[in-house]
Amino acid sequence: MPYKKEATTGLLTFIVIILLFMSTFITDEGHVTIVKSFGEAKTQVNPGLHFKTPFVETTEEIEVRTRQNKEVMSSSTAEQMPVQVAVAVNWTVQRDSALDLYKEYGGLAQFENRILDPRLRSAVKAVIPKFEAEQLIQDRSTAIMQIEALLIEEMATFPIKVGDLQIENIALPPKYLASIETKQTEKNLAAAEEHKLARQKLEAQRDVNTAKAKAEGIDAVARAEANAIKVKGLAEAEAIQAKAKALRDNPLIIKLTEAQNWDGKLPTTIMGEGSMPIMDIRKQ
């Protein structure tokens, strides 16, 4: 009997532990959990530890972080050239609407397969034929914006948010790619030549400007020197005129000038007046 009692107690303890384990669940960060009662979705709970009724309630997690879907599809360009396009789109389930999404579509995988992917393919096939192959390669961003705008419009009524969209790859026939590369190389060479010519023109203009500035500098110096000579000449002329006027107005200035210039020696001869001979007054 004691062994039977211990076995029963152990069994009951095990059952209680199992029931406790079945009564709790944890919702991971970045997810919400849909709680179902006999298979019917009833409520959703946020990350953390939660309780449920064993054998009655079951749970299923829904990711509410950003997800990415990729599609590779065939289409054609505006000139009817076959093209294969690889597109990726980021999208997020609106946290508060996860229960509605689950009730309506049964989960993320079903929503992607039934709703998102078909509309993504449709948007890509609606936009790509508007572009010629060369334009599609060189102006990929415009095609991306148009596809993204169309997809956002198509998904506006669903409980998700469409994020960034990217065209990851554009596969065209190899011969056409080679012709595009050749054309691009020619454009690059032409652009390089134009740049070279523009640079040469700029350098020539710079030399002209330098020569012009140098000539203007020389001309300015010459003008300054000529003006200085002119000013000096005018000053000297004015001085001569002033001196002549002073001599006219005062004859004694002449005597004064002679006196200032006399070297202190008496003349050695005196010229007589009339018939008087010239006398030598030097000492014998």
pLDDT in tens, 128-181: 999 998 888 888 999 999 999 999 999 999 999 999 999 999 988 887 766 666
pLDDT interval class at 104 (50, 70, 90): very high
Is 236 a member of any domain?
Answer: no
> 5-14, 56-65, 147-156, 264-273: which range is least confident on average?
264-273
What's the average model confidence in pLDDT over 77-84? 90
Q: Are 129 and 159 in the same domain?
A: yes
pLDDT computed for residue 225 by the predictor: 79
Domain limits at 147? 67-172
Q: Are 43 and 80 in the same domain?
A: no
Q: Are 71 and 150 in the same domain?
A: yes
Q: Are 25 and 110 in the same domain?
A: no
pLDDT computed for residue 92 by the predictor: 96
Is 13 a member of any domain?
Answer: yes
Is 257 a member of any domain?
Answer: no
Q: Are 96 and 118 in the same domain?
A: yes
> Per-residue b/e over 116-142, b at no fewer than 16 CB within 10 Å?
beebbbebbeebbeebebbebbeeeee
> Per-residue b/e over 22-56, b at no fewer than 16 CB within 10 Å?
eeebebeeebbbbbbeeeebeebbeeeeeebeeee
Output the domain CATH number for residue 123: 3.30.479.30
- Please give the residue that has the higher pLDDT: either 39 or 271: 39
Question: Measuring CA to CA, which residue among 147, 149, 19, 180 is closest to residue 71?
Answer: 147
As a whole number of angstroms, the distance between CA 121 and CA 71 comes to: 7
pLDDT greater than 60 at residue 36: yes
Total count of domains within the chain: 2
pLDDT interval class at 102 (50, 70, 90): very high
